[in-house]
Amino acid sequence: MSRFLTSPAVKPRRSRDITIISLLAILIIVMFVISMNTGLMRLSPLDVLHTLLGGGTEQQKLILFDFRLPRIVISILVGAGFAVSGCILQGLSRNALAEPSTLGINAGAGFAVIIFISFVPATTAAHIYVLPLMALVGAVLTAALIYVLTYRREDGLSPTRMILIGIAVGAGIYAFQLILSLRLDPQNFQFVSIWLAGKIWGGDWRFVLALLPWIVILVPFAFYKSRVLNLLSLGDQTSAGLGLPVEKERILLLASAVILSGTCVAVSGGIGFVGLIAPHLARRLVGPKHQVLLPACALVGALLLITADTIARWILQPAEIPTGIVVAIIGAPYFLYLLARSKA
């Protein structure tokens, strides 16, 4: 009986969610095409299509397949990864300001990278393979430290305490980053400065292959755990009363968010604003239910980052600015708008 009473209200909502998600996917495809046509060497849409179908000159194939396509794919993967990571952290902490950079996770990843660069020259080929691993290790160790400092036996993991400790740990790590950066030679210092500002520097199919398994495994895992996130958002006592193993599920989801963020930082540097603003945008579009929110969040993050990276490559040609700066310029006004409305 209740199914028939609720179905008229559920169907329009479900249809609206499907429409919004479809529009986001279409916008990503549009930006994908625009990004393939953006760069110092101009390629018309017909040239791109001809090259993708197996034609085109050797120069056009080199530009498209070896430079632009890997970077575009990485932008989409990183944007989705950061956004889903931020959405998980906001759901776990029940705090709208939670995201990898707020909790110091990105800072931990960057600190591990700087330590590695301090001892290994930037020109060494090992960077391609070791930097992602170092970033992941730094992110995991930082998250573990924050968890240990936050957890209390009497009340478990307090969301507010986790945010405050994360900010404090992140600030301390950034201070050590600055100290180590001052000891680098000019070449390594320039690399670290650009990397920390946020730049899709891993524009290579090897980085796509290194990042893709984590995204393919952890993003669907987050979707699978969407109902758990819905319960956790109700509070620990309510979740436990409904039979949910709160600490076990929280650790699994926290580990997923940290690994997603760490692997994304490895190929994009300190782009942290995506994980903060994408969940807000997605929540306004599809509502708070994580079954729909997480897919929409992944699409919003991918769209935001591919747009920012395209602008970063185009706006000051032939020079290029870090993608993280463009993300902040795009996202900060909207986030300030959200803060202004929350006070109203």
| pLDDT tens profile 237-263 | 788 888 888 888 988 998 999 999 988
Q: Evaluate if residue 310 carries a pLDDT over 80.
A: yes
* Residue recorded with tokens 């017909």: 46
Range from 108-122, 196-210, 245-259, 281-295 that averages highest in pLDDT: 281-295
3-state secondary structure of 157: strand
3-state secondary structure of 60: helix
Query: Please, is 65 exposed, middle or buried when counting C-beta atoms within 10 Å of its C-beta (0-12, 13-18, 19+)?
Result: middle
* Residue recorded with tokens 């490895």: 266
> Do residues 47 and 323 make contact, with C-beta atoms less than 8 angstroms apart?
no
Tokens linked to 231: 């319960």
> How would residue 61 be classed by pLDDT, with cut points 50, 70 and 90?
confident
Determine the average pLDDT of the residues in 13-21: 90
State pLDDT tens for residues 42-56. 777 787 888 888 787
State pLDDT tens for residues 171-191. 999 888 888 888 877 777 777
* Res 339: pLDDT: 65
Distance, in Å, from the CA atom of 70 to the CA atom of 53, rounded to the nearest integer, reads 17
Q: Evaluate if residue 8 carries a pLDDT over 60.
A: no
State pLDDT tens for residues 96-122. 778 888 888 888 988 888 888 777 765
Q: Is the model more confident about 265 or about 131? A: 265
Query: HSE of 103 in the Cβ direction (CA atoms, 13 Å)?
Result: 38
* Res 122: pLDDT: 53
Residues 6+ apart with CB under 8 A from 32: 72, 76, 306
Residues 6+ apart with CB under 8 A from 106: 100, 139, 170, 261, 265, 270, 272
> Do residues 249 and 228 make contact, with C-beta atoms less than 8 angstroms apart?
yes
